[in-house]
Structure 1
Amino acid sequence: MATIYHNLSEYDFETVPDASEMRFGIVASEWNQNVTEKLLEGACNTLERHGAKQENIHIERVPGSFELTFGAKMMAQSQDVDVVIVIGCVIRGDTPHFDYVCSGVTQGVTGLNLEGDIPFIFGMLTTENLKQAEDRCGGRYGNKGDEAAVTAIKMVDFARRICTARK
Structure 2
Amino acid sequence: MASSQNNLSGFRAKTTEDTKNYRIAIVVSEWNESVTEALYSGAVSTLREYGIQRDNIVRKNVPGSFELTLGAQFMAQKEDIDAVICLGCVIQGETRHFDFICQAVAIGITNVGLSSNKPVIFGVLTPDNQQQALDRAGGKHGNKGDEAAIAAIKMLQEFK
The residue that corresponds to 1:44 in the other structure is 44
Please state whether the residue corresponding to 1:52 is helix, strand or coil: coil
CA RMSD of aligned residues (A): 1.4
User: What's 1:135 paired with?
Assistant: 135
Paired AA for residue 68 in structure 1: L
Deviation, 1:117, is: 2.1
Q: Aligned partners of 1:7 and 1:16: how far apart in 2? A: 20
Q: Which residue of the partner structure matches residue 25 of structure 2?
A: 25
Q: Which structure 2 segments of 5+ residues have no match?
A: none
Deviation of the 1:12 alpha carbon? 3.5
Alignment match, 1:3: 3
- 1:38 and 1:86 map into 2 onto residues whose CA distance is 13
Q: In the comparison of the two structures, how many residue pairs are matched?
A: 159
Matched, 1:110 2:110: yes
Distance of aligned partners of 1:41 and 1:82 in 2 relative to their CA distance in 1, 3 Å threshold = same
- Cα gap change, 1:50 to 1:77, in 2 (>3 Å): same
Q: Aligned partners of 1:142, 1:109: CA distance in 2, in Å?
A: 23
- The question of whether the paired residues in 2 share the 8 Å contact of 1:92 and 1:129 is answered with yes
Tell me the distance in 2 between the aligned counterparts of 1:107 and 1:136.
Answer: 22
Which sits farther off after the overlay, 50-59 or 106-115?
106-115
The within-5 A match list for 1:61-76 is 61-76=61-76
In the TM superposition, what are the counterparts of 1:91-102 in structure 2 within 5 Å? 91-102=91-102
Q: Is the 8 A contact 1:16 1:154 kept in 2?
A: no
Q: What CA distance in whole angstroms lies between the structure 2 residues aligned with 1:60 and 1:130?
A: 24
Counterpart residue number, 2:147: 147
Larger radius of gyration: 1
Distance 1:79 1:26 in 2: 15
Partners of 2:152 and 2:2 in 1: CA distance:
20
Q: 1:85·1:120 contact (CA, 8 Å) conserved in 2?
A: yes
